[in-house]
């Protein structure tokens, strides 16, 4: 599968339908996340009350020093947006790896072994999904100290069930295949069946699910940070920027719009790339 993608990328113009713009946007976000402050024209946390509330460069009173304006504490909006990439990427990465990992594992075990454990897991999934995600997140975030770890934990505990249910379905379908039965008859141990036979078959599905999740995770993190339950100062998160900007909505429209546009572009790009990967690798997931 990796080879397939690599083979396709080797022909940039033959790759019909590859969403180049979204890929570039995501690439930029990753680069900013890795490089961090080095790319930001100014210090994201640099307070300078003398330049507070400067509008973006195309408006009266703005300048190229702060192309997207400054916030209430004089911090450069563009630099903060660039700095915010890191949190988004980190949260997305850990949240997806853990929720996908745990969810997939539980789904595999439950689907493969069936019986009481399976019934129990299905009940657990139903119960967890009967609590609205935000509500669950609120309680959890209230229990744990606000911060990066909390956000990741909250997302993991909210989204694991989604993976578990889908992977379980896949495993149930695979379980009936002949080669699994042969393996068992031949006395192959269960862990081997898991890793050699089942896992490779769900790899594509898992990858597609993960990429489809990125957009949602970004939105979720932004919401949590906005409510004050997520990222805290001095870390920079787009959601947090919006929370800060809320009280100045009447006089500083750019502080409300710019971080939101960053969220929207990143999420949109992730969704488009996710859709493209899904169509490429596992189209039967289209009904999701």
Partner 1 sequence: MIRLIRRRIGQGLVSILGASIIIFVISRLSGDPTTLLVPPEAPPETIAAIRATLGLDRPIYMQYAIFLAHALTGDFGISYRWQTPALTLILDRMPATIELAVTGLLFSVVIATPTGVYSALHRGGLIDRACRVFAMLGQAMPAFWVGLLLILVFSIHLNWLPAFGFGGISHVVLPGIALGWYPVAAQMRIVRSAMLDVLDSDHILVSRALGTPEWLIVWKYAFRNAAVPLLTMLGVYFAAMLGGAFVVETIFAWPGVGRTVVEAVFSRDFPVVQAGVLFTSILFVVSNLLVDISYGLVDPRIRDDR
Interface residues toward partner 1, by CB under 8 A: 123-124, 126-128, 130-136, 138-143, 215, 219, 222-223, 226-229, 239, 242, 246, 249-250, 253, 256-257, 260, 263-265, 267-268, 271-272
Looking at beta carbons only, is 139 or 181 nearer to partner 1? 139
Looking at beta carbons only, is 188 or 264 nearer to partner 1? 264
Looking at beta carbons only, is 66 or 266 nearer to partner 1? 266
Nearest approach, Cβ of 137 to partner 1 (angstroms)? 9
Nearest approach, Cβ of 2 to partner 1 (angstroms)? 27
Looking at beta carbons only, is 36 or 260 nearer to partner 1? 260
Nearest approach, Cβ of 7 to partner 1 (angstroms)? 28
Looking at beta carbons only, is 188 or 268 nearer to partner 1? 268
Nearest approach, Cβ of 228 to partner 1 (angstroms)? 7
> What span, in angstroms and rounded, lies between the C-alpha atoms of 63 and 80?
17
Nearest approach, Cβ of 13 to partner 1 (angstroms)? 22
Looking at beta carbons only, is 42 or 88 nearer to partner 1? 88
Nearest approach, Cβ of 5 to partner 1 (angstroms)? 23
């Amino acid at each position: 599968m990796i080879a397939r993608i690599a083979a396709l990328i080797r022909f940039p113009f033959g790759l019909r339908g590859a969403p180049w713009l979204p890929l570039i946007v995501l690439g930029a976000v990753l680069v900013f996340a890795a490089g961090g402050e080095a790319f930001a024209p100014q210090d994201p946390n640099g307070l300078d009350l003398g330049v507070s509330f400067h509008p973006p460069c195309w408006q009266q009173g703005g300048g190229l020093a702060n192309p997207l304006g400054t916030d209430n504490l004089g911090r450069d909006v563009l630099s903060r947006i660039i700095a915010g990439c890191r949190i988004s990427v980190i949260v997305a990465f850990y949240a997806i790896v853990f929720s996908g990992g745990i969810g997939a594992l539980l789904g595999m075990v439950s689907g493969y072994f069936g019986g009481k454990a399976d019934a129990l897991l299905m009940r657990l999934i139903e119960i967890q999904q009967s609590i609205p995600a935000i509500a669950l997140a609120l309680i959890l975030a209230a229990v744990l100290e606000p911060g990066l770890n909390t956000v990741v934990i909250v997302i993991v505990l909210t989204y694991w069930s989604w993976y578990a249910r889908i992977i379980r379905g896949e495993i149930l379908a695979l379980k009936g295949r002949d080669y699994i039965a042969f393996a068992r008859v031949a006395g192959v141990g269960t862990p081997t069946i898991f890793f050699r036979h089942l896992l490779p078959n769900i790899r594509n599905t898992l990858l597609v699910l993960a990429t489809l999740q990125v957009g949602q995770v970004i939105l979720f993190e932004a919401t949590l940070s906005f409510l004050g339950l997520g990222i805290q100062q001095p870390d920079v998160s787009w959601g947090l920027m919006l929370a800060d900007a809320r009280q100045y909505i009447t006089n500083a429209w750019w502080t409300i719009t710019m971080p939101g546009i960053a969220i929207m572009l990143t999420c949109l790009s992730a969704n488009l790339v996710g859709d493209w990967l899904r169509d490429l690798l596992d189209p039967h997931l289209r009904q999701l």
